[in-house]
Amino acid sequence: MAIVINGKEVAAKVKEEVKEEVKLLNANGIEVGLAVIIVGDNPASRVYVNNKKKDCEEVGIHSYEYALSDDTTQSELLDLIKKLNNDKNVNGILVQLPLPKQLDEKEVLNAIDPNKDVDAFHPVNVGKIMIGDYSFLPCTPAGVMELIHSANIDVSGKHCVVIGRSNIVGKPMSLLLLHEHGTVTICHSRTKNISEITKQADILVAAVGIEKFVTADMVKDGAVVIDVGMNKNAEGKLCGDVDYLSVSEKASYITPVPGGVGPMTRAILLRNTLTAAKIQ
């Protein structure tokens, strides 16, 4: 039976570290601030934004929310980002995705000052991650690495398989594993015989967005299985990309959903905001 890597516990440690460092900055007259922009009334986005606000309060980071209407224009949004880029009270800027259809996501993300880009989506930061010389890491992949380290799992020399190739998780995840000397294979929707590849993984990261996609017959005995998925099942309950019950019988370590990667994503955002304050 797999050992469960508890994301809530690891996230609590990260938050405590951030809280202590924020106190030190405050003692030197430096405040830390995060601006969150939400456009429209996507219910899931609203939940995420409320959680981020709560997290900021917990660690002493000022949270500035900019809730814009569904019909906000590209120029209005870009003007706001420009204003926040120049605002000394704002150390980090986060634009909650997805954006309404009339807005150009790429142009919006590119408009954020790279030193305030706490999501690490700006091409400058993506390039820095590519060469291994970075200030910020995307929150979810960095959270996954934190979970792996918390269980004292050595990535070096291991065969790491990442399912999913998104810019937000799959691609940066593979680079972080590579930076720690893992041998990395990326699988995606066009991969043939996917289970043949996943069965070779010492460390398997599922970030495909399909409920219970990874089944026990796709997992090697003793593998480390990290579930990044956040899906709703037929009953409306949160579940991952991994069939948890069957896979936990074969894996050596596994992350649950909820309570695994999710809390880590939020904790790393706080750490990135702190890093941004230090840089500035």
52 is known as an active-site residue: yes
106 is known as an active-site residue: no
Which position has the token pair 């398997």? 204
Set 96, 212, 227, 243: catalytic member: 96
Q: How many CA atoms lie within 13 A of 12 on its CB side?
A: 5
Tokens coding 258 = 């909820």
Set 15, 52, 158, 171: catalytic member: 52
Which residues touch 55 (CB under 8 Å, ≥6 apart)? 15, 266, 267, 269, 270
Rounded to whole angstroms, the Cα distance separating 218 from 240 reads 15
Set 55, 113, 117, 119: catalytic member: 119
119 is known as an active-site residue: yes
Report strand pairing: 238-239 vs 231-232.
Answer: antiparallel
Helices marked H in 28-154: 43-59, 74-85, 105-111, 123-131, 139-150
Residues marked as catalytic: 52, 96, 119
